[in-house]
Amino acid sequence: MAFEIAMPQLGLTMEAGTVLHWLKRVGDTVRKEEPLLEIETDKTAVEVTSDTEGVLLAIVVPEGKAVPVGTVLGWIGQAGEAAPRVPAAAAGVATPRPSAPPPVSAAAEPAAPSGPTGPVRATPAARARARAAGVSLAAVRGTGPEGRVQARDVEGVRARPSPAGAYRDLPVAGARKVIAERLSQSFHGSVPVLLTAEAVVDRAHDLVGQMESDFRAKTGGKIGYLPLIVKAAALALRAHSRLNAHWMGHAIRLFEEIDIGIAVSLDGGLVVPVLRRADRLSLAEIATGVATLADKARTGTLTPAEMEGGTFTVSNLGGHHIGFFMPVINPPQVAILGVGRAAPRPMFRDGQVQALRALPLSLVFDHRAVDGEPAAAFLDAVKAALEAPYRLLL
Amino acid sequence: MRELTTSQAINEALAEELERDPRVFLIGEDIGLHGGAFAVTKGLFQRFGPKRIRNTPISEAVIVGAAVGAALVGTRPVAELMYLDFVTLAMDQIVNQGAKVKYMFGGKARVPAVVRMPFGAGRANAAQHSQSLEAWLCHVPGLKVVMPSTPADAKGLLKSAIRDDNLVLVLENKHLYFQKGPVPDGEHLVPLGAADVKRPGKDATVVATGRLLSAALSAAETLSKDGIDVEVLDPRTLYPLDAQAIIASVKKTGRLVTVHEAVKRFGFGAEVAAIVAESEAFDYLDAPIQRVAGAEVPVPFSKSLEDLFLPDEAKIVAACRRTLA
């Protein structure tokens, strides 16, 4: 009896996924819970593990192909067993998911009918040239019929000049590919407008200093400006709900709950885990929540659920010597707050030039969804809360 | 250079060999006063007489059996079957006798005979007079099989076949009999087993036989307007095949299209494809091999259906484009 490997649904909004890499080849032995393949959704790339043990009988959906949730990707069974044949029409609905929306036609191509697929489709001439040149065929994009790699494709790779002599190519795949696609979609598909403001944060600075030792004693962690900024933004979003929204194309969806995405930088790229109900959390809860999510991000243990559903994002570059900057909106959200480094600056207060601690705030909003005045009012509210931080404790 | 039809060129080859070697004689149906169904032996009866131009009853087994027997006792007969389709009636004489004798007698007996056989469709001659059965003959060890595509090659190959000490089957496409082409003056021999590149090119190798050589050359001209440079190779002898010429060409172009009128399955094109796949040319192949061949049906009598059966220039062009996609 053969068991199907189906495209999993990793989140409520996931409609289709792309097979990135098969980690097993046809004929390989598979243990239960062993990684089988890597898939990519519009949010992330994850490994799919085996629900059963046996032998990988067939790969139905080859690498690089996007298919709807539930599509049979391959079969696991006993050695020597024949893989069931899946008719192309049935492949997309082999495992019905009643809650899943109908597949999006753009992302979803029908799965290949059946049968194992070889590793890379390439002509003998392309293989011989790749061997001679030490080029990996997997890294060559085939331009022949059915994506077959031909000699000219290998020549293309070899002919590319190497200006500085040695260089290395980082593959645009997995998380990097997701980031590239989503950010260019955001940047080219929205109307981003930047507003900046400086919050005077001497009092917030004092507050952080006062909380520091208590917080460390209680949690062992560190508290900085970020929990104050997240809380200030969350409270401001309550009053300015037009920014706590998703651009749906046909509608602007305003959310009751305030779920704030926190941009976390990793070696492999950027992830944005979501802190739920941030407006209702204490500063300490925000600090530990952000620390937990950041740890999970660094160890690669974030679940897709922890990365979806954000209604607004905070991007903090305050760890570097950065002032104002222009973050890119995380779609389908309509705004993002960029946080620079707080530093003492000469400012006027009571007719005197004083050294005051200024925190650069950069708000980028999508002018399709929000006009300049409400966006400015929101940024004002954030600034006001940070300058009177007792409000964050109420 | 003077121009002759293939029929005239073969007639000249026969006359020259009859003149040169008294052991040579012709045997077949209606080859005497009538001059043969395709006028190939026209005038030879008058010139060489009934002992050397022998008419036979309507029996292909007799024609080939007599030729093989006569060859065994020291003559060099040139037999003619009116259509290749009728070779079925002479298969025992060819396959079990002519092809085997030399081997079974340890080389002490030889069969220096030639059997000429017109073949091919395109004349609305229906299923029993239109076939291309070369693959059957090429399959049998002990036989040589020749298939000329031009008047000059027809003459030169036939003269070499008559001088060869083995049973050589010469397959002549009916359409070519009345097509003209340049033929050199004087003695003209084309060695058996030597292919000829009829048009050099660098983008794809087309191996075409018989009447379809000219279709392949036209296809190459058509493709050249799109900057596609096709090499057209004429094997001329199907067995022994000049495999090295084909391999060298595919190593140059990386692409192979085989063209013949016989049906595709188990055909000469399959053998060429397999030879290339087994050879060092394999690592030069940059696209799947394409085979252009007759449809897998008995040749239809209806002209419009027969046209569908036959490979033509358009089908060769399409196959070349597929391999260059």
pLDDT, tens digit (0-9, with 9 covering 90-100), for A273-316: 999 999 999 998 999 999 999 999 888 888 888 988 899 999 99
Alpha-helical segments (H) within B166-263: 212-224, 243-253
- Half-sphere exposure for B292 (CA within 13 Å, toward CB): 30
Q: How far is residue B64's CA from residue B78's CA, in Å, rounded to a whole number?
A: 9
- Looking at this protein, which amino acid is placed at residue B257? V
Given pLDDT bands bounded at 50, 70 and 90, which one contains residue A258?
very high
> Is position B60 annotated as part of the catalytic site?
yes
Q: How far is residue A226's CA from residue A315's CA, in Å, rounded to a whole number?
A: 10
Contacts from A273-280 at CB under 8 Å and sequence distance 24+?
A273/A297, A273/A302, A273/A306, A273/A307, A274/A306, A274/A307, A274/A308, A274/A309, A274/A310, A275/A230, A278/A230, A278/A231, A278/A233, A278/A234, A279/A231, A279/A234, A279/A235, A279/A237, A279/A238
* 8 A C-beta contact, residue A237 and residue A307: no
- Show Cβ contacts of residue B242 under 8 Å, excluding neighbours closer than 6 positions: B193, B194, B195, B235, B236
Q: How far is residue B211's CA from residue B172's CA, in Å, rounded to a whole number?
A: 9
Contact (CB<8Å) A125/B285 = yes
Q: Which of B203, B283, B323, B324 best tests the A interface by mutation, with the highest count of A CBs <10 A?
A: B283
* 8 A C-beta contact, residue B275 and residue B102: no
Contact (CB<8Å) A151/B283 = no
Two structure tokens written together for A129 = 């040239």
List the Cα angle A299/A174/A334 in 5-degree steps. Answer: 85
CB < 8 Å to B325, chain A: 144-145
Q: Output the average pLDDT for chain B.
A: 97
Alpha-helical segments (H) within A40-96: 88-91
Q: How far is residue A200's CA from residue A345's CA, in Å, rounded to a whole number?
A: 10
For residues B32-57, average pLDDT: 96
Q: How far is residue A183's CA from residue A116's CA, in Å, rounded to a whole number?
A: 35
Residues in chain B: 325
Predicted confidence at residue A78, as pLDDT, reads 85
Catalytically annotated residue among B12, B16, B80, B129:
B129
Neighbouring-strand partners of residue B292? B259
Predicted confidence at residue A103, as pLDDT, reads 39
Using one digit for the tens of pLDDT, what is the confidence trace for A321-349?
999 999 999 989 999 999 999 999 999 88
Parallel/antiparallel/unpaired status of strands B24-28 and B53-55: parallel
Q: How far is residue A145's CA from residue A392's CA, in Å, rounded to a whole number?
A: 62
Given pLDDT bands bounded at 50, 70 and 90, which one contains residue A144?
confident
Q: How far is residue A56's CA from residue A379's CA, in Å, rounded to a whole number?
A: 55
Predicted confidence at residue B255, as pLDDT, reads 97
CA-based end-to-end distance of chain B: 40
> Is position B129 annotated as part of the catalytic site?
yes
Question: Of A135-149, B166-180, B204-218, B234-248, which gets the smallest average pLDDT?
Answer: A135-149
Q: Say which residue the tokens 């081997």 belong to.
A: B103
* 3-state SS assignment for residue A61: coil
Q: Output the average pLDDT for chain A.
A: 84
**DSSP designation for A299:** T
Q: Say which residue the tokens 């090499």 belong to.
A: B231
CB < 8 Å to B285, chain A: 123-125
Q: Is the ipTM of this complex over 0.85?
A: no
Phi, psi angles (nearest 5°) of residue A175? -60, -40
Q: How far is residue A39's CA from residue A7's CA, in Å, rounded to a whole number?
A: 8
Q: Nearest C-alpha of chain B: how many angstroms from A138?
A: 17
- Looking at this protein, which amino acid is placed at residue A83? A
Percent of chain B with pLDDT over 70: 100
